[in-house]
């Protein structure tokens, strides 16, 4: 799968791009048979070099972002819920425009330099180019800002291995999802006594014997309509939709999470409705605080009680998807 994290280089601001372009240019010198010819050659070389820095920087950015034509997969949907596909496309196409606009200005002002018959004429054509090129770069300043933000958001999306069987943990905020992940994998997610601690999806590896599974931690979900969910919650839904071979739905009957159990159960029903084909294991957490007496599985992510049994049940629920053992 395309990787959201690694490919995109640091995105410079418009000022930094201009700095880079014009710093290099001031070092360029040329020889010539006379003063006018020398200044003309120097001006053309400087215009060409500035153009090259600006356009190649922008072209590199455009290439570095993942291609977003094939919508509908996990990556495309993560882009949509983190920064917005349309906004990303717009920013990239504006950079494309800027790169070709600067090249067009290069052609235009190089002709002016060539046509000039004085040092002053060549110099002023070069300076006019600098001014026009700078304003093109400044025009895409908001797009560069947006791409820097997008890069930052993408870096928070973990690498997902699509070859591994995957469990996605879901539930209301503050019920103990991240605490559970930290117990069953090597991941160290942030755990805190307030809702919406987890802001994006996280991944841990769970090993049992020689088998490895992926466990995805998600931000807490509230029992509201899909279209009311915010971008953070939508990352959870996206992970459920594209990655889950089984869902672990965690309830907190102690209600120390801050939400009543009946609301948590309503969310469970809507998750069942959204993902009718995915096995859902429902478990009550925080049994160290309260044992509801129900016949659901129970565990405490604080003490570890019941956790191995929950993992075993999850592995069982995807057993039919496991590939046959290699014989040798």
Which of Mg ion, ligand GTP, none does 68 bind, CB closer than 5 to 8 A by kind?
none
Which of Mg ion, ligand GTP, none does 301 bind, CB closer than 5 to 8 A by kind?
ligand GTP
Instruction: Report the relative pairing of strands 211-217 and 246-251 from DSSP bridges.
Output: unpaired
Contacts with ligand GTP: how many residues (CB under 6 A)?
Answer: 23
Q: Does 301 bind ligand GTP (CB under 6 A)?
A: yes
Q: How far is the CB of 296 from ligand GTP (least distance, A)?
A: 14
Q: Does 235 bind ligand GTP (CB under 6 A)?
A: no
For tokens 């601690």, the residue is: 197
Q: Does 285 bind ligand GTP (CB under 6 A)?
A: yes
Which of Mg ion, ligand GTP, none does 176 bind, CB closer than 5 to 8 A by kind?
ligand GTP
Which of ligand GTP, Mg ion, none does 175 bind, CB closer than 5 to 8 A by kind?
ligand GTP
Which of Mg ion, ligand GTP, none does 300 bind, CB closer than 5 to 8 A by kind?
ligand GTP
Which of the ranges 192-200, 226-234, 237-245, 316-324 carries the binding residues for ligand GTP, by CB under 6 A? 192-200
Q: Does 198 bind Mg ion (CB under 5 A)?
A: yes
Q: How far is the CB of 161 from ligand GTP (least distance, A)?
A: 22
To 10 degrees, the CA torsion angle through 226, 229, 231, 237? -50
Q: Does 288 bind ligand GTP (CB under 6 A)?
A: yes
| CB of 207 closer than 8 Å to CB of 164 | no
Q: Figure out which of the listed residues 197, 231, 272, 297 binds ligand GTP, where binding follows CB under 6 A.
A: 197
Q: Figure out which of the listed residues 101, 151, 242, 286 binds ligand GTP, where binding follows CB under 6 A.
A: 286
Put the strands of the sheet holding 297-298 in their side by side order.
202-208, 211-217, 165-171, 246-251, 280-284, 297-298
| CB of 103 closer than 8 Å to CB of 53 | no
To 10 degrees, the CA torsion angle through 265, 271, 275, 276? 30
| CB of 43 closer than 8 Å to CB of 25 | no
Q: Does 264 bind ligand GTP (CB under 6 A)?
A: no
Q: Cβ closer to Mg ion: 133 or 310? A: 310
Q: How far is the CB of 198 from Mg ion (least distance, A)?
A: 3
Q: Does 196 bind ligand GTP (CB under 6 A)?
A: yes
CB contact set of 112 (below 8 Å; sequence gap of 6+): 121, 125, 128
Query: Would you give the binding string for Mg ion spanning residues 148-177, x where CB under 5 A is met?
Result: -----------------------------x
Residue whose C-alpha is closest to residue 248's, from 289, 190, 306, 325: 306
CA pair distance 284, 190, nearest whole angstrom:
21
Q: Cβ closer to Mg ion: 94 or 198? A: 198
Q: Figure out which of the listed residues 43, 94, 134, 178 binds Mg ion, where binding follows CB under 5 A.
A: 178
Q: 33: how many CB neighbours lie within 10 A of its CB?
A: 8
| 289 DSSP 8-state letter | T
Q: Does 220 bind ligand GTP (CB under 6 A)?
A: yes
Strands (E), the chain: 165-171, 202-208, 211-217, 246-251, 280-284, 297-298
The string of DSSP codes covering 82-116 is HT-HHHHHHHHHHHHHHHHHHHHHHHHHHHHHHH-
Which of the ranges 25-33, 74-82, 148-156, 176-184 carries the binding residues for ligand GTP, by CB under 6 A? 176-184
- Backbone dihedral region of 166: left (phi > 0), alpha (psi from -120 to 50 degrees) or beta? beta
Phi, psi for 257 (deg, rounded to 5): -65, -20
Binding residues (CB under 6 A) for ligand GTP: these are 173-179, 191-193, 195-198, 219-220, 285-286, 288-289, 300-302
Q: Which residues bind Mg ion (CB under 5 A)?
A: 177-178, 197-198
């Amino acid at each position: 799968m395309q990787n959201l994290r690694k490919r995109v280089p640091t995105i410079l601001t418009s000022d930094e791009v201009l700095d880079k372009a014009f710093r290099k240019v001031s070092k360029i010198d040329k020889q010539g048979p006379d003063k006018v010819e020398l200044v003309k050659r120097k001006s053309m070389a400087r215009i060409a070099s500035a153009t090259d820095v600006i356009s190649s920087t922008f072209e590199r950015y455009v290439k570095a972002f993942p291609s977003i034509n094939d919508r509908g997969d996990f990556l495309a949907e993560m882009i949509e819920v983190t920064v917005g596909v349309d906004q990303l496309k717009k920013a990239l196409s504006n950079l494309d425009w800027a790169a070709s606009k600067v090249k067009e200005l290069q052609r235009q002002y190089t002709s002016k330099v060539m046509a000039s018959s004085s040092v002053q004429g060549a110099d002023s054509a070069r300076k006019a180019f600098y001014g026009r090129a700078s304003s093109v770069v400044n025009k895409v300043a908001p797009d560069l800002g947006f791409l820097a933000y997008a890069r930052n958001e993408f870096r928070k999306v973990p690498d997902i291995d699509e070859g591994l069987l995957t469990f996605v943990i879901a539930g209301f905020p503050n019920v103990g999802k991240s605490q559970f992940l930290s117990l069953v994998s090597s991941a160290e997610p942030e755990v805190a006594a307030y809702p919406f601690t987890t802001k994006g999806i996280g991944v841990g590896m769970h090993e049992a014997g020689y088998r490895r599974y992926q466990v995805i931690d998600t931000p807490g979900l509230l029992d509201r309509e899909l279209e009311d969910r915010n971008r953070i919650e939508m990352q959870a839904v996206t992970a459920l939709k594209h990655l889950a071979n089984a869902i672990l739905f965690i309830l907190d009957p102690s209600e120390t999470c801050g939400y009543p159990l009946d609301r948590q159960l309503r969310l469970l029903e809507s998750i069942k409705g959204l993902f009718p084909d995915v096995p859902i294991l429902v478990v009550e957490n925080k049994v160290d605080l309260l044992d509801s007496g129900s016949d659901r599985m129970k565990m405490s992510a604080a003490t570890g009680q019941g956790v191995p049994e929950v993992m075993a049940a999850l592995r069982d629920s995807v057993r039919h998807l496991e590939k046959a053992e290699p014989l040798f």
